[in-house]
Structure 1
Amino acid sequence: MAKRKGLSLEEKRSRMMEIFFESKDVFQLKDIEKIAPKTKGIAPMTVKDVLQSLVDDNMVDCEKVGTSNYFWAFPSKALHARKRKLEELQKQSTQAKQRKESLQKAVEKTKEGRQDTKERASLLKELEALRKDKTHLLAELDKYKECDPEVVEEIRKSNVVAKAAVSRWTDNVFSIKSWTKKKFAFDDSRIDKAFGIPEDFDYMD
């Protein structure tokens, strides 16, 4: 049986936010350290760091009263924060796309005659940097889209279609193997080696 993987940081952050949204209450750190492992499966040793990362990102509010720190977060604030972040990232992504297109045109122009100029090298360097920025921004957008119910539902539907497609191709592979065994009297290992089929090839669970 495969060992179950631990929760990723984003999964821990999402589950911890559920504690605040579901209760709509104010907590001390000691309260979160008791609740998170028991109800959300977050490892006790990571609770403090996960909570601090949410505070740093302004997703959870923190206020010191006397000698104690109190933490809270309400769905309305989180929704507005996500919308602002999405708008900001979309704006940056659009600007990066426009700049990339402009640079691509400039690069194409400098290719005329195939001369390697300093200007061309500089533009290529800037273009590569913008490509990296775009990739980073798209990754950020994808991270926030995980909170969108429509996106989640679309992913679920896509997974069903993808799994069905994988099953069809698995059927095809097994059919080819069966035909080859009957036609040429090859054993499984020889067929797998000839077609590059992994030894553990099987249907998805």
Structure 2
Amino acid sequence: MAWAMFGFLKGNVNLRNPEEQSPQPQLGRAPGYCGVAAGGAESKKKGLSFEEKRARMMEIFFETKDVFQLKDIEKIAPKEKGITSMSVKEILQSLVDDGMVDTDRIGTSNYFWAFPSKALHARKRKLGELESQFAESNQKKEALQKSIEKSKIGREDTAERAALIEELAALRQKKEQLKAEIDKYRECDPDVIEEMRQTNKVAKEAANRWTDNIFAIKSWAKRKFGFEESRIDKGFGIPEDLDYID
């Protein structure tokens, strides 16, 4: 790409010494180009938006159909298009990132260019993508609409359907009443009673087992250290009336 551009560039750029370039032409407005108007006291007061700066920078390329280095753009943009020199690099890079401006490195220098024909093709391609997305969205919308219409079949507001809905609500209410009735008498269920008995038996056996262990420890402490039983109970928070459960 770099060498293919050599013939195109050599009329405007001295590749051996990029500093020696032909004077840049004074830029005006390209006929028929819909960009943001350059200059104007009101624009200077308000300042340019990011998109306005991008549009004006594209005017530089479209109006001259020339190839530039960054330093060239940094000189032309503030003077001819009212773009601050500090923002030139950022604006130019955004245009490169979006594929609106082409760039290539020749030797030690980077060159930038953009032609209206490519911009037109890019807009046509983008338009085609948007039209394709629009058509796809319409197809999805139609499919959803058909699905909605299909789901409505059998759900028309008829007297028969209203009666069935009312009957269903009554049956659901009856079901809840019966469930509450069953829960009320559940304690009298033989299986539930037996389950409670088994649970109580296990709990009782566990309580008596721990009580037996406490008595064994108290007996050992009295023999080993000669402590009185009341002192042991007080020291360990053991109730005086601790006993087995019958």
Greater fraction helix = 1
- TM-score (norm: length of structure 1): 0.49
Which structure would you say has the larger Rg?
Answer: 2
TM-score, normalised to structure 2, is: 0.42
